[in-house]
Amino acid sequence: GAGVSQSPSNKVTEKGKDVELRCDPISGHTALYWYRQSLGQGLEFLIYFQGNSAPDKSGLPSDRFSAERTGGSVSTLTIQRTQQEDSAVYLCASSLRGLGTEAFFGQGTRLTVV
């Protein structure tokens, strides 16, 4: 596709439910990032994938959060047993080779936990 695509664009879920957020990176991009942006806050790094290397999971806030990237392309961020503090915009980005190359962001998924 022409850009990074994220789905759904909006998600409302009940506290305690699991949710999956999807990211389709730009074709051919080997690096993929997930960030979280809470209301009025800055961008918080969550996880980084580069090719076939082990992902950098250092930003995941708890073990309720996990992510995978299948076939070096599509990525899914899963939040288990959602809490109200998980409400935020989840942004995905990709870049051609990671370090040194320009990162392009998707439009984000707005998650609301009620």
Partner 1 sequence: KQEVTQIPAALSVPEGENLVLNCSFTDSAIYNLQWFRQDPGKGLTSLLLIQSSQREQTSGRLNASLDKSSGRSTLYIAASQPGDSATYLCAVTNFGNEKLTFGTGTRLTIIP
Give the binding site for partner 1 (CB under 8 A): 4, 6, 31, 33, 35, 41-43, 45, 48, 50, 56, 59, 91, 93, 98-108, 110
Smallest distance from partner 1 to CB 112, Å: 13
Q: Cite the beta strand spans of the chain per DSSP E.
A: 5-7, 10-13, 19-24, 31-37, 43-50, 65-69, 75-79, 88-95, 103-105, 109-113
Please report how close the Cβ of residue 16 comes to partner 1 at its closest, in angstroms.
27
As measured in angstroms, the least distance from the Cβ of 100 to partner 1 is 6
Q: Can you tell me which residue has the tokens 């990211």?
A: 23
Query: How far apart are CB 110 and partner 1 at their closest, in Å?
Result: 8
Specify the residue, 17 or 57, whose C-beta has the smaller distance to partner 1: 57
For partner 1, which is the closer residue by CB, 93 or 111? 93
- The Cβ of residue 27 has, within 10 Å, a number of other Cβ atoms equal to 9
Of 35 and 65, nearer to partner 1 (C-beta) is 35
For residues 53 and 55, give the distance between their C-alpha atoms in angstroms, rounded to a whole number: 6
